[in-house]
Amino acid sequence: MPFFTSFSGYDPDAFPVPQNDPPAQPAGYAFSIWGPIYLVLILSTGWGAFRHPDDPDWAPARVPLLISLLIGAAWLPIAAVNPLVATVLIWMMLIAGLVALARTPATPRLAFRAPVALYCGWLAAASWVSVALTGAGYDLVFGPYLWALIAIVAATATALAVLARIPDIPEFSAAVIWAFVALVVANWSVSPGVAALAAASALVVLAMQIIRIRDSRQSV
């Protein structure tokens, strides 16, 4: 898992068309988010095991989350040698994770929904980054620049759809914004168009999150 092994992106030479400093890849520091993600997931698992072992509100989310994490355990060694298969796997992780997120109980939010939201937020961004890198690396239709723009727009649309569907997940937004900011850092001096779109997308996700918080407070 990325929590136990350093990972800062696919090997550029793992693609038929080597991807050296591709615009779709966030700055390397962004991948350090795996540490906090797995830490809070471990704490959540421990809390759930001791305080909610038979809680019917926790049960529906546990199986899809476990499926996502088990796929994640196999993802890293595969990502090191086969980005195409890794792209399929990370999408499986995301889909299972989102199913789990939608099933998490509203309370206690910090104990379960928040950790899963952080995990899914990063996956929502990383999945589209993986698509862009694979598309460019296999020379599918577009070049690296256009694939980066497509990934940013698609990741933004995905984030907005999730935020519209599932309430009280600011951690999801934080992880997506973290990825967008890392794209700005990686591209501001070399691909300003990508950096500008990533910055705008971060603001859009932030605005959506603020709206959701406001709506949640008004409904109380």
Half-sphere exposure of 5 (CA within 13 A, CB side): 12
Q: Is the pLDDT of residue 1 over 60?
A: no
Both structure tokens of 123: 């996956």
* pLDDT confidence band for 141 (50 / 70 / 90): confident
Q: Is the pLDDT of residue 182 over 60?
A: yes
Look up residue 140 and give its DSSP letter.
Answer: -
CB 159 within 8 A of CB 172: yes
* pLDDT confidence band for 3 (50 / 70 / 90): very low
Q: What is the mean pLDDT of residues 193-204?
A: 97
CB 136 within 8 A of CB 19: yes
CB 118 within 8 A of CB 172: yes
With pLDDT > 70 as the criterion, what percentage of the chain qualifies? 95
Q: What is the mean pLDDT of residues 155-181?
A: 97
Higher pLDDT, 186 or 18: 186
Both structure tokens of 77: 């060694």
Q: Rounded to the nearest 10 degrees, what angle do helices 170-187 and 192-219 cross at?
A: 170
Helix segments in the chain, DSSP class H: 34-51, 59-79, 83-103, 113-137, 144-165, 170-187, 192-219
CB-based contacts of 83, cutoff 8 Å, min separation 6? 10, 14, 15, 130, 133, 134, 137
User: Model-level pTM?
Assistant: 0.92
Nearest to 179 by CA among 12, 8, 27, 6: 27
Q: What is the mean pLDDT of residues 162-187?
A: 96
Both structure tokens of 29: 């520091």
pLDDT digits (tens, 9 = 90+) for 77-129: 888 888 999 999 999 999 999 999 999 998 888 989 999 999 999 999 999 99
3-state SS class at 119 = helix
Q: What is the mean pLDDT of residues 158-184?
A: 97
